[in-house]
């Protein structure tokens, strides 16, 4: 079932069929109708494998996620998927955490021409991609990025977002504000830590002893563990800023188990506004990133570069939002 059959059925050449399906070149209306009739009669659909080889593009973009089960990425991936599809692309998704030698695989996918470009949400992969021939591979960094790397990126101003969260707590009268999660390996954590310290300094405050506290992994258990440790130092902190919502929820539980109240005794602010932020009591106050728009912009930037590789490298900074609920 190929373009040949359609051409024969319609009594035209394959070039004309190609013009019709691509809506390119000039085709007489009556001829177009004949071809369309043949296409419908045969249920023809152009072989993408052949078209891909001929046009030398796959119209596929690779999306590298460190861990699917982290709900944080869901909104971004949805944004990428939607925008990509609107522009005639599809999304090949790779969980880099699940695959030990993922790095080799996905760089291969790019060199292979199996995908046209990549969007990287994974801090580790960002690092290793930066190690490759920087601008040779068409990719963009999303959320985790280095403005000076020469790689296009989209993200938020993590330092300012963290500072805003801390200023919010200060505005509520908090003075001993602890921070959980500041893993220096990741730009986002490093920046948030910087913002935290800036906002404190600005108000003439200092971090409680031990703060910021580094996480092993930014999940509920670590949030619980580290908050419990934080609560045991005196004078006790009166607020906790966590760099990820699961950490914040764990911290909330630790405060509760210590016989204290959120937010009366300890206010808590999270980061990311994941779905379950509204399913806990008190509801979590948190910093929201415009996930869907982050994804959409990443896809847009990548696809524009694909269409015009000479485009200057750009960074896109999107606005964050403090979602005030009940925990602070």
Partner DNA sequence: TTGAAAGCGCTAACAG
Partner DNA sequence: CTGTTAGCGCTTTCAA
Q: How far is the CB of 218 from a copy of itself (least distance, A)?
A: 13
Q: Find the part of the chain contacting DNA (CB under 7 A) among 43-51, 279-287, 301-309, 315-323.
A: 43-51
Q: How far is the CB of 32 from DNA (least distance, A)?
A: 7
Q: What is the DSSP string of 8-36?
A: HHHTS-HHHHHHHHHT-S---HHHHHHHH
Instruction: Please name every residue paired with 140 in a beta bridge, in sequence order, or none if there are none.
Output: 119
Among 33, 37, 41, 53, binds DNA (CB under 7 A): 53
> Under the criterion CB under 7 A, does residue 306 sit at the interface with DNA?
no
Q: Find the part of the chain contacting DNA (CB under 7 A) among 13-21, 100-108, 127-135, 156-164.
A: 13-21
How many helices and strands in the chain, by DSSP H and E?
12, 11
Residue 94, phi then psi, degrees to nearest 5: -125, 130
Q: Give the position of tokens 């950490």.
A: 247
23 backbone φψ class: left, alpha, beta (φ>0; ψ -120 to 50): left
Q: How far apart are CA 296 and CA 79, in angstroms?
A: 5
Among 33, 99, 264, 319, binds a copy of itself (CB under 8 A): 99
User: What is the CA 167 to chain-centroid distance, rounded?
Assistant: 26
Among 8, 9, 31, 282, binds DNA (CB under 7 A): 31
Q: Find the part of the chain contacting a copy of itself (CB under 8 A) among 19-27, 121-129, 159-167, 279-287.
A: 279-287
**Cβ closer to DNA: 4 or 217?**
4
CB contact burial 231-254 (16+ within 10 A = b; e otherwise):
beeeeebbbbbbbbbbbbbbbbbb
Q: Which does 325 bind (CB under 5 to 8 A by kind): a copy of itself, DNA, none?
A: none
Residues 144-203 that bind a copy of itself (CB under 8 A): none
35-74 mask for a copy of itself (x: CB under 8 A)? --------x-xxxxxx-xx--x-x-x-------xx-x--x
Q: Find the part of the chain contacting a copy of itself (CB under 8 A) among 103-111, 139-147, 186-194, 307-315.
A: 103-111
User: Which tokens belong to 16?
Assistant: 């004309």
- Of 231, 229, 268, nearest in space to 248 by CA: 268
**Cβ closer to DNA: 11 or 134?**
11
């Amino acid at each position: 079932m190929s373009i040949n059959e359609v051409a024969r059925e319609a009594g035209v050449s394959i070039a004309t069929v190609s013009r019709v399906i691509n809506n390119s070149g000039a085709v007489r209306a009556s001829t177009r109708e004949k071809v369309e009739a043949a296409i419908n009669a045969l249920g023809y659909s152009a072989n993408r494998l052949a078209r891909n080889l001929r046009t030398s593009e796959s119209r596929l973009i690779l999306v590298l996620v460190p861990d699917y089960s982290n709900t944080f990425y869901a909104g971004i991936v949805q944004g990428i998927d939607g925008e990509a599809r609107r522009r005639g692309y599809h999304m090949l998704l790779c969980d880099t955490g699940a695959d030990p030698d993922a790095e080799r695989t996905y760089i291969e996918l790019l060199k292979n021409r199996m995908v046209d470009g990549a969007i990287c949400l994974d801090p580790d992969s960002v690092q290793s991609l930066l190690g490759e021939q920087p601008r040779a591979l068409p990719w963009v960094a999303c959320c985790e990025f280095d403005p000076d790397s020469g790689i296009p990126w989209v993200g938020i101003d993590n330092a300012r977002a963290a500072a805003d969260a801390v200023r919010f707590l200060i505005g509520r009268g908090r003075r001993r504000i602890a921070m959980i999660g500041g893993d220096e390996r990741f730009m986002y954590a490093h920046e948030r830590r910087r913002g935290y310290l800036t906002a404190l300094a600005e108000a003439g405050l200092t971090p409680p002893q031990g703060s910021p506290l580094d996480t092993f992994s930014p999940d509920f258990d670590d949030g619980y563990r580290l908050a419990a440790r934080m609560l045991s130092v005196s004078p006790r902190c009166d607020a906790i800023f966590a760099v990820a919502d699961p950490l914040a929820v764990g911290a909330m539980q630790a405060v509760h188990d210590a016989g204290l109240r959120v937010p009366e005794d300890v206010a808590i602010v999270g980061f990311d506004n994941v779905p379950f932020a509204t399913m806990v009591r008190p509801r979590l106050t948190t910093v929201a990133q415009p996930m869907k728009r982050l994804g959409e912009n990443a896809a847009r930037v990548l696809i524009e570069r694909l269409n015009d590789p000479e485009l200057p490298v750009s960074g896109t900074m999107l606005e964050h939002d403090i979602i005030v609920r009940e925990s602070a």
